Structure 1
Amino acid sequence: MKQPIYRFLIELTNGRITSYLLQKFAQSKLSRFVIPSFSKTYKINEQEMEKELKEYQSLHDFFIRKLKTNARITHAAEEAVVSPVDAVIEDIGMIESTREIVVKGKTYSISEMLGSKEKADVYAGGEYMILYLSPSHYHRIHSPVTGTVLEQWTLGRKSYPVNRLGLKYGRDTLSKNYRTITEIQHEEGKIAVIKVGAMFVNSIETTHNGDMLEKGKEMAYFTFGSTVILLFEKDTFMLDQSIKAPFNIQAGKRIGDTVHRSGQV
């Protein structure tokens, strides 16, 4: 009975006013009384949380919870690319030469997603991966590789659902929703980490300091569920062939390897 109620409350965030009210409630001390119920409903693993359930002062604090040290182990191989989040890998595929991807039968423009044709040209012919975070997931985002932040920018204003139904029936959610893009230069090429807001709750907070990112280290966090899109430059990434969407994964787990491009200096 409780899960439909929570789903209904989350769906209310599709409206500007209800979103604002729910956000205020989640940040209030009063909301701490629903944390035990929420945790039980979504089967949160309380054993791996940094704090006891009773220590969270609001539902918002619980959403952005940290985990105990070593609750997530980052794959150590130098060439390994790891998942930046706990999520369901909803889709994997090639980025067309036209700078488009097809997800759940819908075509999305990478140019629109990144904000310019010039940015999209870098990833034409490469690969993409879409990772969906539900309300049950750990909401902190970690770097998939070790590298340097080339640029970080924000686009979009509104946000609509990015779950499976949202991807199938929504209107260009991945390329129009509020989103923050971090472009990373690693030893073999570039990766764009696109953090997509969901359902008007446009909370994507950057937590890394400086321009250097270490694989597996925290770089940002979401409030509520959302989506991360990874874009890989052509011929720089080889997917782990055991991964077939939909696929449940945790932050730090290997999703593939970087590839040294022939002729690259």
Structure 2
Amino acid sequence: MNVIHRLLQQESLNFVLTNRLPRVALTRFMGRFAKIRNPLVRVPSIAAFKFFARPDLGEAKQQKFDSLRDCFVRELKPGARTFDASPHLVCSPSDGIIGGHGRIQGDELLQIKGMPYSLTELLGNDAAAAQLAQQHQGGSYVTLRLRAGMYHRFHAPTDCRVQRVTHIQGDAWNVNPIALKRVKSLYCRNDRAVIETTFHDAQGQARSLTLVPVGAILVASVRLHFLDLNLHHGYAGPQVLPCDAALQRGQEMGWFEHGSTIVVLAPPGLELVAGLTTGSEVRAGQGLLRLG
């Protein structure tokens, strides 16, 4: 078994196996396959998921699942994730590993060292995207990568109001570090949602906070509870979705149907909490950004 894990860690093999296949078709298939409840499919597929992804199911609200999908989007036991209540903190919306992060200056962000991408392109590459990008100038960005075995639900990082969601249809590249080193502007290529929110800082000033959940191979859909909507490769509804949803800090916003990535875009005055850096593992509710 360890031999299989070692083989999958070889960069060239991993990249070919997870990116040179028909990515979108495979992702759509996984969306259907993961919902199968027949035990002849469910039992071995969940066993394979446990072996390869090594999820911590001890904190799951339930221990038995009706399908592989139910295991992916599992709820946690009450109190498993506590959101820091400090008004000076914006919490991590999800479990994840910190990737590219830094100050937003100009239009260039880093997906990994030496691999820049365009903020405006990430947000949709139109006039509205350029205006939103401008609101974050001088602010900070943090990339959170959710491994396949992690808790897949994401939450409001602070008390906020969702004003608009833009769905941008795209590809389904893997978002692991191996792919990030090889595929230029990867986040701008993949299917994603731009969730625009506002919040009030400790002084009562309204600020912009944007979350960009990015899809990936095998991520069949992104669920947004406040719109009662699943965004996926076959979604044919409106791409720009006006919204007026008030969310409390820690309130569940939605889930990924597999591991993926969230890019957090913060306004000026917010910086990464001291001690956090690339490679740090964080949990939903942990302080991520601090008002300076």
Q: TM-score range by the shorter chain?
A: 0.7 to 0.9
Deviation at 1:184, TM superposition (A): 1.2
- How far 1:40 moved relative to its partner? 4.4
Q: Residue in 1 aligned with 2:11?
A: none
CA contact 1:14–1:200 (8 Å) conserved in 2:
no
Aligned partner of 1:17: which letter? A
The offset of 1:76, in angstroms, is 1.8
Identity, % of aligned positions: 27
Alpha-carbon offset, residue 23 of structure 1: 2.7
> What residue in structure 2 maps to residue 262 of structure 1?
none
Shift of 1:176: 2.4
Q: How far apart are 1:16 and its partner, in Å?
A: 3.3
**One of 187, 191, 213 as aligned partner of 2:247:** 213
Match of 2:101 in 1: 92
Residue number among 32, 36, 47 corresponding to 2:42 in the alignment: 32
Provide the C-alpha distance between the structure 2 equivalents of 1:241 and 1:44, rounded to a whole number of angstroms: 28
1:134-149 counterparts in 2 under 5 A? 134-149=147-162
Q: Secondary structure at the match of 2:184?
A: coil
What do residues 52-78 of structure 1 show as CA deviations (whole Å, max 9, x unaligned)? 1xx311111110111111011111212
1:234 positional shift? 1.9
CA contact (8 A) 1:178 1:202 kept: no
Deviation at 1:258, TM superposition (A): 3.1
The equivalences for 1:1-265 within 5 A come to 1=1, 3=5, 14-30=22-38, 31-34=41-44, 35-52=46-63, 55-96=64-105, 98-104=106-112, 105-115=114-124, 116-188=129-201, 189-199=207-217, 201-208=219-226, 211-235=245-269, 237-259=270-292
**TM-score normalised by the chain length of structure 2:** 0.80
Q: Is the 1:180–1:196 contact (alpha carbons within 8 Å) kept by the matching residues of 2?
A: yes
Structure 2: runs of 5+ lacking an equivalent = 9-13, 202-206, 228-243
Matched position secondary structure for 2:181:
helix
Q: Is the 8 A contact 2:110 2:116 kept in 1?
A: yes
1:132 CA drift (Å): 0.4
Distance in 2 (alpha carbons) for counterparts of 1:58 and 1:217: 25
Give the SS at the match of 1:50: coil
Distance in 2, Cα, partners of 1:149 & 1:213: 8
Q: SS in structure 2 opposite 1:238?
A: strand
Whole-angstrom distance in 2 between the partners of 1:72 and 1:85: 10
Give distance in 2, aligned partners of 1:37 and 1:168.
27
CA 1:142–1:42: 2 relative to 1, 3 Å: same
CA contact (8 A) 2:216 2:260 kept: yes
Give the alignment's TM-score, normalised by structure 1. 0.88
SS of residue matched to 2:30: helix
Matched positions, count: 255
Q: Residue 18 and residue 151 in structure 1: after superposition, are their counterparts in 2 closer, same or farther (change >3 A)? A: closer
Assess, with a 3 A threshold, how the Cα gap between structure 1 residues 148 and 103 changes in structure 2: closer, same or farther.
Answer: same
Q: Is residue 27–residue 172 contact of structure 2 (8 Å, CA) maintained in 1?
A: no
In the alignment, structure 1 segments of 5+ residues that lack a partner are 260-265
> Could you say if the C-alpha distance between residues 207 and 74 of structure 1 is closer, same or farther in structure 2, counting changes exceeding 3 Å?
same
Confirm or deny: 8 A CA contact 1:146 1:214 kept in the other structure. Answer: yes
| Distance of aligned partners of 1:215 and 1:191 in 2 relative to their CA distance in 1, 3 Å threshold | same
SS at match of 2:25: helix
